Chains A and B, each alone.
Chain A
Amino acid sequence: EAGVTQFPSHSVIEKGQTVTLRCDPISGHDNLYWYRRVMGKEIKFLLHFVKESKQDESGMPNNRFLAERTGGTYSTLKVQPAELEDSGVYFCASSQARGGGANVLTFGAGSRLTVL
């Protein structure tokens, strides 16, 4: 089974530019999550998709961030325009539809964003 794939693995852009991060979840996983780790801080929840619908976007920092999941498959996270404080590692995770007990998330390797 292929894991969660994210790309690019590393992106370096200048302040004010736009970057789009992509996540391909495990096939058949309805739940898709984005998390972010800013340097020296803890990993923080950004948002949660169930199929193509946003279930919870309470962690999105501001309206410069736009996440989409058209067709309920892969997801993109666009940052426009990027600011210095957006630098960090963006993780994507996926899980199957909820059954009994907790959903175990499978994480991707992350996309490192550096804004200069």
Chain B
Amino acid sequence: AQSVTQLDSQVPVFEEAPVELRCNYSSSVSVYLFWYVQYPNQGLQLLLKYLSGSTLVKGINGFEAEFNKSQTSFHLRKPSVHISDTAEYFCAVSGTGGTSYGKLTFGQGTILTVHP
């Protein structure tokens, strides 16, 4: 069984400031890790994913995340946010084997609000 905890339900930040959205997970098996974003009235869009290899993963729109196995974390960062980054962000994990691919376990979401 897997679980995902997003430590902040809401994160307000000013434009051009850096931001970090925190995600911790728990799993008894190896996992793949994902961050999705949902803009208003749109579907979930993949920001980035960690499958293996380098622990620093770069995604779209200037976002990056770092996989920390010892701390079971996958925090999302952006050095300078824009108004257009205002959205809800979801951290998710899936198993790596068998029929578990595509069966995602999500965190509760973090609403990022960027103020001018």
**B-side contacts of A106, CB under 8 Å:** 43, 46
Cβ of B58 to closest chain A Cβ, rounded Å = 16
Contact in complex: B45, A109 (CB < 8 Å): no
Cβ of A42 to closest chain B Cβ, rounded Å = 5
Contact in complex: B46, A56 (CB < 8 Å): no
Q: How large is the interface on B (under 10, 10 to 19, 20 to 34, 35 or more residues)?
A: 20 to 34
Which of B16-24, B72-80, B100-108 participates in binding chain A? B100-108
Please report the C-alpha to C-alpha distance between residue A103 and residue B23 in the assembled complex, in whole angstroms: 21
Other-chain contact of A91, B43, B49, B96 (Cβ < 8 Å) = B43
Contact in complex: A110, B108 (CB < 8 Å): no
Please report the C-alpha to C-alpha distance between residue A101 and residue B101 in the assembled complex, in whole angstroms: 9
The total number of A-B Cβ pairs within 8 Å is: 60
Contact in complex: A102, B43 (CB < 8 Å): no
A55 beta carbon closer than 8 Å to chain B: yes
Q: Which of B47-101 contact A (CB under 8 A)?
A: 49, 51, 90, 92, 94, 96, 99, 101
Cβ of B10 to closest chain A Cβ, rounded Å = 13
Which of A43-51, A65-73, A74-82 participates in binding chain B? A43-51
A105 beta carbon closer than 8 Å to chain B: yes
Please report the C-alpha to C-alpha distance between residue A108 and residue B44 in the assembled complex, in whole angstroms: 7
Please report the C-alpha to C-alpha distance between residue A41 and residue B6 in the assembled complex, in whole angstroms: 12
Q: How large is the interface on A (under 10, 10 to 19, 20 to 34, 35 or more residues)?
A: 20 to 34
Contact in complex: B103, A91 (CB < 8 Å): no
Please report the C-alpha to C-alpha distance between residue A45 and residue B4 in the assembled complex, in whole angstroms: 14
Contact in complex: B102, A42 (CB < 8 Å): no
Contact in complex: A55, B44 (CB < 8 Å): no
Q: What residue in chain B is nearest A98 (Cβ atoms)?
A: B101
Q: What residue in chain B is nearest A47 (Cβ atoms)?
A: B103
Cβ of A113 to closest chain B Cβ, rounded Å = 16
Task: Please list the residues of chain A having a beta carbon within 8 angstroms of any beta carbon in chain B.
Answer: 3-4, 31, 33, 35, 41-45, 48, 55-56, 91, 93, 95, 98, 101-110
Given A102-B101, A109-B42, 16 additional A-B pairs, CB 8 A: A3-B43, A4-B43, A31-B102, A33-B103, A35-B104, A42-B106, A43-B44, A43-B92, A43-B109, A44-B106, A55-B99, A104-B49, A105-B46, A105-B102, A106-B46, A107-B45
